[in-house]
């Protein structure tokens, strides 16, 4: 899983935000490693029905998308750099396409057609409408969470509309992050980002973290390179476990 990284220069990055994104990345790697263990029969985790794993995924995804909204506000606080924004968007879109192709090859019909990277591409574009409207973003974000968790309509079960959400059932796919309700989380992150910037709290949060601490630096580094880690960690984990299975003759 991955969020929108800050697109300001490194000197203007906030250690606290990068470290929080690094925490989300670390949790995601743990989640996917456990998923791979279950896939190869090394564990009996039920990722489709066990409340623990379902809630764990929800927590990780919520943290990512909250930070995605917050980061979009930070990335545009000095204005929108169209070239940098589009370049970042194209990288994420390319990553989304790779995920779809790879999961189709591995899981067949359960391939990822609208996962977290696909969501980020759409949410990045829609989010530009709300980055300077925190009150509207907060109100709409809460509304989308309520609507997305309380109402479903058969019309959205059609293949062409599943990316929106509001389906009567979860589609057969390995990762599904529909626009509703998840865009609500990103909108709340935008409202939070505006609030923290206005109050100067993000800089204050930086003071809470020891910049020379090795674990903090590692988390911040992971947060700065979240897209790359998202793209390579699962093929690496999956590939190593597959090699072990082949070598062990299991």
Please indicate, yes or no, if residue 2 is contained in any of the structural domains: no
Residue 4 lies in a domain: no
Report yes or no on whether pTM surpasses 0.75. Answer: yes
* Spatial distance between the Cα atoms of 106 and 243, rounded to a whole number of angstroms: 15
pLDDT recorded at residue 7: 38
Total tally of structural domains belonging to the chain: 1
Does residue 224 belong to any structural domain of this protein?
yes
CB under 8 Å, gap of 24 or more: what pairs does 38-41 form? Answer: 39/238, 40/241, 40/242, 40/245, 40/250, 41/250
What is the pLDDT tens value at each position of the chain, 250 positions in all? Answer: 444 343 334 435 677 888 899 999 999 999 999 999 998 889 999 988 899 999 999 999 999 999 999 989 988 887 888 888 899 999 999 999 999 998 898 888 889 999 999 999 999 999 999 999 999 999 999 999 999 999 999 999 988 899 999 999 888 888 999 999 999 999 999 999 998 888 766 666 666 666 678 888 899 899 889 999 999 998 899 889 989 988 886 6
Say which residue the tokens 């000095």 belong to: 78
DSSP 165-208: B--SS--S-S-B--HHHHHHHHHHHHHHHHHHHHHTHHHHHHHH
- What is the C-alpha to C-alpha distance for residues 91 and 135, in angstroms, rounded to an integer? 30
The answer to the question of residue 75 being in a domain is yes
87 is a domain residue: yes
50 assigned to some structural domain: yes
3-state helix, strand, coil split of the chain in percent (to 5) is 70, 0, 25
Task: Give pLDDT, residue 205.
Answer: 65
Q: Give the structural domain span for 74.
A: 11-248
Asked, for residue 206, whether it belongs to a domain, the answer is yes
Q: Tell me, yes or no, whether 198 lies in a domain.
A: yes
């Amino acid at each position: 899983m991955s969020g929108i990284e800050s697109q300001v220069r490194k000197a203007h990055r906030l250690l606290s935000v990068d470290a929080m994104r690094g925490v989300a990345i670390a949790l995601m790697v743990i989640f996917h490693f456990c998923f791979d263990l279950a896939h190869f029969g090394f564990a009996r985790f039920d990722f489709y029905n066990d409340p623990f794993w379902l809630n764990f995924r929800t927590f990780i995804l919520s943290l990512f998308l909250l930070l995605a909204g917050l980061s979009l506000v930070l990335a545009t606080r000095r204005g929108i750099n169209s070239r940098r924004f589009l370049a970042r968007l194209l990288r994420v879109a390319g990553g989304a396409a790779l995920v779809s192709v790879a999961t189709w090859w591995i899981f067949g019909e359960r391939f990822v057609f609208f996962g977290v990277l696909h969501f980020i591409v759409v949410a990045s574009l829609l989010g530009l409408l709300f980055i300077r409207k925190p009150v509207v973003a907060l109100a709409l974000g809460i509304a989308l969470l309520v609507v997305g968790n309380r109402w479903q309509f058969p019309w959205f079960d059609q293949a062409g509309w599943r990316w929106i959400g509001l389906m009567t059932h979860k589609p057969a796919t390995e990762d599904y992050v529909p626009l509703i309700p998840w865009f609500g989380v990103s909108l709340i992150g935008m409202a939070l980002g505006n609030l923290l910037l206005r109050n100067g709290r993000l800089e204050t949060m930086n003071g809470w973290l020891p910049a020379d601490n090795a674990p903090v630096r590692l988390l911040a580094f992971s947060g700065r390179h979240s897209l790359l880690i998202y793209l390579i960690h699962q093929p690496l984990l999956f590939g190593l476990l597959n090699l072990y299975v082949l070598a062990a003759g299991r």
